[in-house]
A and B are shown apart, each in its own frame.
Chain A
């Protein structure tokens, strides 16, 4: 039942029942169909241990999640996790105690980071129970999706999807 590991993994993280926490998965859903066929696409809740498994064996991982850094809602952050430690605020929006930032830092400690790990954070406003994104956040979903698609298309390993 497991999908064979592929070299590129794109992960959308979040809980769609927690308002803006669903931003990462909203971006992912917008990109379904546009992502090159060789890329493994995963929706995750943000449980760090699941993430470690999700990118096991991957050369390149691109991940998108909602964050709360104090920047204006809708701000799109891009972090190269290979080059920098994830800032502490990255884990604040997670519904998991052992979340995205913790998984990345644990993998770094154990020498198990993928070759390339790029993390997109979308600044959220409202993380209370609910199924709608805030207007400021919903507004930037297309732009974030496009940035990520361009990044994926310019990775050496990925091939564009066949139009047929």
Chain B
């Protein structure tokens, strides 16, 4: 393709997105001709890497895919293996997994709200600039994140790439007294999360919304983290094992990433905003109250308010963690035994960024014959591109630097985790 008359801008980096990607927007005759979000991600590498490995290695290997949400990868992998071998941990083991996940939500949401996204709203280049004027706020975010990490350290063995998780449960479980050491910090964290929601509620949100199809897990008795059916606001209601009958991945030439779509309907939206819209009633009363106080309605279709929903989910995660700790009774055995068999297993859990799908096929010794991993960011790519097209088309009058800033902010609404991938996220707007 020739762009002889194209005015092209190469802007530095899209920092504050985990990893590398890049987006190009082509504008011609005052309309958006093309939006391409290029993201490179490594699930294919890991899928190949997993073949021939034992079932017991899947949680730890897949946790390495992402340093930001290792628990999500471990949980989806464990559930998938257990599904194949017909094992279902209940009681305290199930609760501890939920607690571990709360830790990851707290640390991931705190990182994104404070370190990555808030600077956009407050007009700072990055959190370093923001800290010059808001040091106490940044300290609060760091401490909140640290408390999420503390849960992961206690249950997971260490915060990055927890090593205490195994198929069937845990290698070791904490005593009641050990868990209670988290309580005081978590009470502070819950208050800090409420403060976070109040703070974020003062931001100015661009007036932008679209008619999304939100997809999330739904569970009849809880705000779904580890288990549930996949539902949407447009009628989807399926078992996770039916995922591939309803969702397809298409390879996009320009990128190593696969774009996911719902059959016949196309783009969909996963993550905090989807969960909030589909499962609001399952949030704790405190979290629901925080949402109302922050001005959120029962339904929210403005992706820029995702930062607010993350704050609400952080309140919930702290609240839920405290509930689990208060109710905890140490299980007699930290894990259930599993016996391999020839079968296929499915796992889908709610990573901080949205549903993370795993599928494994095993032989009789529990060796992985094939693996499939669909991370949340791959599922949101089409929606991000559609958002950018719609967003830019109403802001063509803006100078490029301003427009690029707002596009970056719009991409960060999805907290895209491309960490596994790479480095530079180049922003390029071409005007013809």
A78 within 8 A of partner (CB):
no
Q: In the complex, which residues of chain B have a beta carbon less than 8 angstroms from the beta carbon of A17?
A: 42, 45-46, 64-65
The stretch among A4-12, A91-99, A153-161 that forms the contact with chain B is A91-99
The stretch among A26-34, A45-53, A113-121, A142-150 that forms the contact with chain B is A45-53
B194 to chain A, nearest CB (A): 21
Query: Which of A50, A52, A98, A129 lies in contact with B116, CB distance below 8 A?
Result: A98
A110 touches B131 (CB 8 A): yes
B111 touches A15 (CB 8 A): no
A47 touches B67 (CB 8 A): yes
Question: How far is B276's CA from A84's CA once the two chains are assembled, in angstroms?
Answer: 45
B369 within 8 A of partner (CB):
no
B42 touches A106 (CB 8 A): no
Query: Which of B45, B65, B154, B423 lies in contact with A94, CB distance below 8 A?
Result: B423
A15 touches B67 (CB 8 A): yes
Given A95-B18, A129-B420, verify A45-B111 contact (CB < 8 Å). no
A55 within 8 A of partner (CB):
no
B423 touches A109 (CB 8 A): no
Question: How far is B273's CA from A32's CA once the two chains are assembled, in angstroms?
Answer: 45
Q: In the complex, which residues of chain B have a beta carbon less than 8 angstroms from the beta carbon of A18?
A: 42, 420
Q: In the complex, which residues of chain B have a beta carbon less than 8 angstroms from the beta carbon of A97?
A: 15-19, 115-116, 419
B68 to chain A, nearest CB (A): 7
A8 to chain B, nearest CB (A): 20
B390 within 8 A of partner (CB):
no
Chain B 49-85, CB-CB to A under 8 Å as 1, else 0, gives 0000000000000001101100000000000000000
Given A92-B424, A98-B111, A98-B127, verify A46-B67 contact (CB < 8 Å). yes
B262 within 8 A of partner (CB):
no
B126 to chain A, nearest CB (A): 7
Q: In the complex, which residues of chain A have a beta carbon less than 8 angstroms from the beta carbon of B10?
A: none
Q: In the complex, which residues of chain B have a beta carbon less than 8 angstroms from the beta carbon of A69?
A: none
Chain B 112-146, CB-CB to A under 8 Å as 1, else 0, gives 00011000000000111001100100110010011
A49 touches B67 (CB 8 A): no
A95 touches B15 (CB 8 A): no
A95 touches B160 (CB 8 A): no
B226 within 8 A of partner (CB):
no
Question: How far is B139's CA from A17's CA once the two chains are assembled, in angstroms?
Answer: 31
B135 touches A110 (CB 8 A): yes
Chain B 1-18, CB-CB to A under 8 Å as 1, else 0, gives 000000000000101111
Which single residue of chain B is at the shortest CB-CB distance from A53?
B146
Q: In the complex, which residues of chain A have a beta carbon less than 8 angstroms from the beta carbon of B65?
A: 17
- The listed residue with most B CB atoms (<10 A of its CB), out of A93, A96, A105, is A96
A96 touches B135 (CB 8 A): no
Query: Which of A47, A102, A127 lies in contact with B128, CB distance below 8 A?
Result: A102
B111 touches A49 (CB 8 A): yes
B200 to chain A, nearest CB (A): 18
Question: How far is B154's CA from A2's CA once the two chains are assembled, in angstroms?
Answer: 10
B160 touches A49 (CB 8 A): no
Given A53-B149, A92-B423, A96-B68, verify A102-B126 contact (CB < 8 Å). yes
B18 touches A50 (CB 8 A): no
B45 touches A50 (CB 8 A): no
Which chain B residues in 402-423 approach chain A with CB under 8 Å? 419-423
What would 26 A/B residue contacts be, using CB atoms closer than 8 Å? Answer: A1-B153, A2-B153, A15-B67, A17-B45, A17-B46, A49-B146, A53-B149, A92-B13, A92-B423, A92-B424, A95-B422, A95-B423, A97-B15, A97-B16, A97-B115, A98-B16, A102-B128, A106-B127, A106-B128, A106-B138, A109-B131, A110-B131, A110-B135, A127-B423, A129-B45, A129-B46
19 more A-B residue pairs beyond the given contacts A95-B67, A97-B15, A98-B116, with a C-beta to C-beta distance below 8 A: A15-B67, A18-B420, A45-B67, A47-B68, A47-B160, A49-B111, A52-B142, A92-B13, A95-B420, A96-B419, A97-B19, A98-B16, A98-B111, A102-B128, A105-B128, A106-B127, A109-B131, A110-B139, A127-B422
A-B interface, 3 closest residue pairs, ranked by CB to CB distance from nearest: A129-B45, A45-B67, A129-B42
